[in-house]
Structure 1
Amino acid sequence: MKIVRLANFVTATSGGLRTALAELGAGYLAAGHEPFLIVPGSIASVRESESGPVITLPGRIVPGTGGYQVITARGAVRRVLEQIRPDRIEVSDRSTLRWTGRWARERGVGSVMVSHESLAALLPPLADPLNRATARAYDTVVCTTNWAAAEFRRIGAPNITHVPLGVDLDRFAPDHFDQATRDRLARPDQVLLVVCSRLSIEKRPHRAVDALAELRRRGVNAVLAVAGEGPLRARLERRAAGLPVRFLGHLTDRAGLAALLATADVALAPGPAETFGLAALEALASGTPVVADRRSALGEVIGPAGRCVFGHPGAYADAVQDLLGRDDRRDLARRRAERFSWAASVAGFLKVHST
């Protein structure tokens, strides 16, 4: 099959979506299919990648998002689609790209929308009508957790399916613990916390800083490493003044990220609207337990390998202390992550594309 995938809100510093697009594309290619990826950028270009051709079309920056872009020129997208003549399309943006569902239906092309965000959490008043429009536009809506599917099932959408994402269990593993990373970020007597997230309002990264402050108020000698960039960085740096917080920026080196996650004692995932939480799963694969927001989908992902709490600092501090008291926390984390593989995820997505 020729599978054209379209996505907005993808940049060089993107996190989970960028990883998912790369891993799924590579899986499609390895299975003998022809994957193409269309994303926004500064200029039009085409390049080859390990997950197939990547076609960049000029996009517009969305104000307040720290550089995220969207493709608004429908004509340019149509021309690329008509040139490729796909058998299937897979879309990862249910706002500005929803029109591609009608394009596909008019041409007898199978269509899939992948729900990477929760409109019920981000835009509650508009969620139901927008979700109805999405479900009508595409043959299938893929949700990566049952939590993410709930907003579609609530409106009675009949074409919803559940396919979890995966994690690279070789790249992210406990044996990537790195003493040099540990020495750089924390003393031997300190607890090393990590948050790996885009620094934007929907991710609530300030909760990690507040949790650190509460732990230190209780006498826990903890430090925090923040891996990620975004529009809230300056505000977070001001909030963290006087606390042992290291802002590492976006880590382009995946080996460095794997070392950080395997070296930390506990990872924090405070975003309340996460529909899967790939960074949290990468922490689990690295043997690091996770404290997440109870309102997100992460409870499905982390299971007994972490704790889910409501967003106040005391709850996060309680959960961190509870996990630190468990001698089996690293084994539990790794075993939980082993339930999720990219091979299974690719197989699940290809099954949807084959129906």
Structure 2
Amino acid sequence: MRIVHAVRSDGFAGVERHVSRLAAAQAAAGHDVRVVGGATERMAAAVADPSVRLVPAATTADVVRALRAATDADVVHTHMTAAEVAAALAAWTTLPGRFPPVVATRHFARPRGSGPLGGLAAALARRTVRAQLSISEYVAAHVDGASTVVPPGIPGRPDGPVAAQRLPVVLMAQRLEPEKRADVGLEAFASSGLAAGGWQLLVAGDGSRRPALEEQAHRLGLSGSVTFLGERADVDALMSQAALFLAPCPVEGLGLSVLEAMADGLPVVAAGAGGHVELLEGLDPLACYPPQDPTLAGKHLAELAASPERRDAYGRAARQRQHRHFSPAAQASATEAVYRQVLGSARRAGARPQPGTGHDVVVVSLEDWDLVRRRNQHLVTELLRTDPDLRVLFVEPPADPLHQLSRRSRPRAGRGLHRPPAGDPGADRLRLYQPTKLLPRRIDPRADERLARGVRRAARTLGFDAPVLWVNDPAAATLVRSSGWPALYDVTDDWAAAERTPAERARLDADEDLLLSRCVAVTVCSPDLLRTKGGRRRELGGDDALLVTNGVDVARYRTPVARPSDLPDGPVAVYLGTVHPDRFDVPLLVRTARAVAGEATVVVVGPVVDVAPAVRATLRDAGVVLLGPRPWTAVPAYLQHADVLLVPHLVNDFTGSLDPIKLYEYRAVRRPVVATPVAGFRDATDPLVTSSDAAGFPAAVRGVLQGPRPADGGGADDIPTWRDQAARMAGVIDALRRRGATQR
């Protein structure tokens, strides 16, 4: 196969190293490979194969000229948006049918279009690129459009010295730019105390932050212990002698230098975010620290420095993981598979699913499809797993640029039709759709009609001729009325009981009445909702609602896993879930954190939503550790290693309507629980659950921490599972298909 790689560059950093290694692996596999762009001498040294032709290209115009001269290629493989734009321009100025198909690798975890002319560049790229690769799951989850994850490969390296024979050196190799957070690395080294023991920090790399970092090193008293090496071509040699590698950047798409350190058997201490988590997963609890926490990073450095035996074990595990999962041959093979899909397969990457199966479902969700799993995602995942003919269009909440701007966030348009992260069960039969709400409903009374049209258009694009409509968001009432699709209303919250303005309450009541009266079926997740929403449906002339509670994958939550490295040392009291004013009692958590200070640390694992910065500061001042959301695959580890699990919820009609997923997750891990008397917990007979009002809550938490653990009381085999609940939902959906359209 004739392959042309293109990157607009005259330098040699992470992307250029990626390109040179992939080109070398492809040439070794027998392909004819050409590389446009990159520092020619360093690219030649990295490729180390004279059959790979190198073409300089420092500007976009250079790349365009080189690609116009490469129309004999089978595929053009671009790297970064500038090369994608160059490919688009080259294609448009070439005779129709003469330009090769374009495949793009996404190296950074952000959508196209972040530069001054970003929108135009993104549009050009999207019109030209036939398939995308992402270097990690993290990148795939954050870019626009579907992509196939193909991580980079690193050639195997000879065994390096054992830990006892390595120099007392911590190596940091990266560009010295603001996003790389080398300042956190310096603080971590200072906090470790290693300088007092004769250890050195070597900083390989250059950039705009170097003068400020040199000043910081002097201010920290590290002038004699930190050496700034500048750009180095011998980083491999530095790695072979260093004892530890420090990677403080919290936004790496993957972390090529970390992967190179792993290949060398060099233990890594890295910011536990981005692609680092994928690379270092399951190696050593000291591998990752919470991003921008130099104190804990320093502690990890000190602990590893003190134990050569642990460094050797960590290094061996890292080498094995690199050899097994990140080899150049595996990267070249997976990349070739994508090329061949683009060139000849009817199911090439980015193609829409084939129509006509009759098993199509459109889900309008209150939550995004992201790394945090909620009811809709769990149920859809199980349905896709068990029904190979099912296809799902999952509609995410619309992007709201004006709302984002009002919150001082960068406004973003919706992502439109896109794919889920690679690796999700049934991902080839799942598409996501995020519309854009341009104006609030009070200004644009037809906003919901516009959103409904967008969903219908997305369904047509995918060939969904007569799908079942599964509504979780009451705002989709307009879609139920306009589409005529047989509809299911799955009620998970009593939003009428939440605090809303009169106008919002009136609109919500009207939407809910339409859904309860016109949908062919109604399911609810809690007994309280069965009473209130089921009763209202009967008042409106409908049949009975069906109770389908939440669940949990019990076996996964009970499989022992290592303690997460970002859990604070010592006893911890953990809350899992969203901190939101509708349900969460912030003052209660503050009082609890202060009551257990010195005995345990209160930790929140989950997103913090619609909470003012001052409230966040109050939580932190009380000693609460806000870890933020964690991927659903990592959640069991946080619960298994909690000394007590918390539910500091407000007690009101809204929380009384809920069926908290954490009820099942907490029960599955068999850890003590202290909860306010909210639905699911107030009537619990499980001896591990303590229900207490807000006044007694902090004391109840202290009592659990100080006293003997309550008797387990058995395995709680009555816990509902997501597989069982998905089977019940599948029965509802099958019945909808048989009964036909919803009344308009």
TM-score range (shorter-chain normalised) is 0.7 to 0.9
What is residue 145 of structure 1 aligned with on the other side?
136
What is residue 318 of structure 2 aligned with on the other side?
333
Aligned counterparts of 1:124 and 1:293: Cα–Cα separation in 2:
26
Please give the secondary structure, in 2, of the residue aligned with 1:246: strand
What is residue 65 of structure 1 aligned with on the other side?
none
Specify every segment of 5 or more residues in structure 1 that has no aligned partner in the other structure, as ranges: 60-70, 183-190
Q: 1:238-261 deviations in whole A, cap 9, x for unaligned? A: 1111311012222213xxx33321
Distance 1:176 1:87, change over 3 A: farther
Please give the secondary structure, in 1, of the residue aligned with 2:206: coil
Question: Is the Cα contact below 8 Å between 1:192 and 1:265 reproduced in 2?
Answer: yes
Pick the aligned partner of 2:302 from 304, 321, 331. Answer: 321
Q: CA deviation at 1:309?
A: 2.4
Distance 1:80 1:268, change over 3 A: same
Question: Is the Cα contact below 8 Å between 1:119 and 1:126 reproduced in 2?
Answer: no
Question: Is the Cα contact below 8 Å between 1:276 and 1:301 reproduced in 2?
Answer: yes
What is residue 14 of structure 2 aligned with on the other side?
16
Question: Is the Cα contact below 8 Å between 2:10 and 2:38 reproduced in 1?
Answer: yes
Q: CA deviation at 1:23?
A: 1.2
Pick the aligned partner of 2:256 from 246, 271, 278. Answer: 278
Please give the secondary structure, in 2, of the residue aligned with 1:275: coil
What is residue 115 of structure 1 aligned with on the other side?
106
Aligned counterparts of 1:35 and 1:125: Cα–Cα separation in 2:
33
What is residue 299 of structure 1 aligned with on the other side?
277
Aligned counterparts of 1:333 and 1:115: Cα–Cα separation in 2:
25
What is residue 168 of structure 1 aligned with on the other side?
155
Aligned counterparts of 2:56 and 2:293: Cα–Cα separation in 1:
41
Distance 1:302 1:121, change over 3 A: farther
Amino acid across the alignment from 2:52: G
Distance 1:261 1:245, change over 3 A: same
Amino acid across the alignment from 2:81: R
Question: Is the Cα contact below 8 Å between 2:67 and 2:90 reproduced in 1?
Answer: no
1:90 maps onto 2:81 in alignment: no
What is residue 233 of structure 2 aligned with on the other side?
252
Aligned counterparts of 1:77 and 1:121: Cα–Cα separation in 2:
19
Please give the secondary structure, in 2, of the residue aligned with 1:251: coil
Pick the aligned partner of 2:207 from 223, 226, 230. Answer: 230
1:72 maps onto 2:60 in alignment: yes
Aligned counterparts of 1:121 and 1:55: Cα–Cα separation in 2:
26
Larger Rg: 2
Give the TM-score normalised by structure 2: 0.39
Amino acid across the alignment from 1:55: V
1:345 maps onto 2:328 in alignment: no
Q: CA deviation at 1:348?
A: 1.2
RCO comparison, higher one (Cα < 8 Å, 6+)? 1
Equivalence map 1:125-274=2 (5 Å):
134-152=125-143, 157-158=145-146, 160-170=147-157, 173-175=159-161, 182=167, 191-216=168-193, 222-241=199-218, 242-243=221-222, 244-253=225-234, 257-274=235-252
Aligned counterparts of 2:164 and 2:87: Cα–Cα separation in 1:
46
Question: Is the Cα contact below 8 Å between 2:247 and 2:271 reproduced in 1?
Answer: yes
Q: CA deviation at 1:111?
A: 1.0
Q: 1:194-249 deviations in whole A, cap 9, x for unaligned? A: 10111122211121111111112996654211111222222211111131101222
Q: 1:134-192 deviations in whole A, cap 9, x for unaligned? A: 4453111110110010013xx5x24x101011112126x4249896x83xxxxxxxx42
Percent identity of equivalent pairs: 27
Amino acid across the alignment from 1:149: A
Aligned counterparts of 1:250 and 1:170: Cα–Cα separation in 2:
22
Question: Is the Cα contact below 8 Å between 1:178 and 1:260 reproduced in 2?
Answer: no
Aligned counterparts of 2:69 and 2:298: Cα–Cα separation in 1:
55
Q: CA deviation at 1:270?
A: 1.0
Amino acid across the alignment from 2:31: H
Give the TM-score normalised by structure 1: 0.78
What is residue 52 of structure 1 aligned with on the other side?
52
Amino acid across the alignment from 2:215: R
Please give the secondary structure, in 1, of the residue aligned with 2:37: strand
Please give the secondary structure, in 2, of the residue aligned with 1:295: coil
Greater per-residue strand proportion? 1
Distance 1:304 1:132, change over 3 A: farther
Aligned counterparts of 1:129 and 1:304: Cα–Cα separation in 2:
42
Q: 1:313-344 deviations in whole A, cap 9, x for unaligned? A: 11211222343443522222222222211111
Question: Is the Cα contact below 8 Å between 1:200 and 1:231 reproduced in 2?
Answer: yes
Question: Is the Cα contact below 8 Å between 1:309 and 1:319 reproduced in 2?
Answer: no
Amino acid across the alignment from 2:173: C
Amino acid across the alignment from 1:3: I
Q: Compute the RMSD of aligned alpha carbons.
A: 3.3
Aligned counterparts of 2:272 and 2:123: Cα–Cα separation in 1:
26
Aligned counterparts of 1:96 and 1:37: Cα–Cα separation in 2:
12
Aligned counterparts of 1:41 and 1:15: Cα–Cα separation in 2:
9
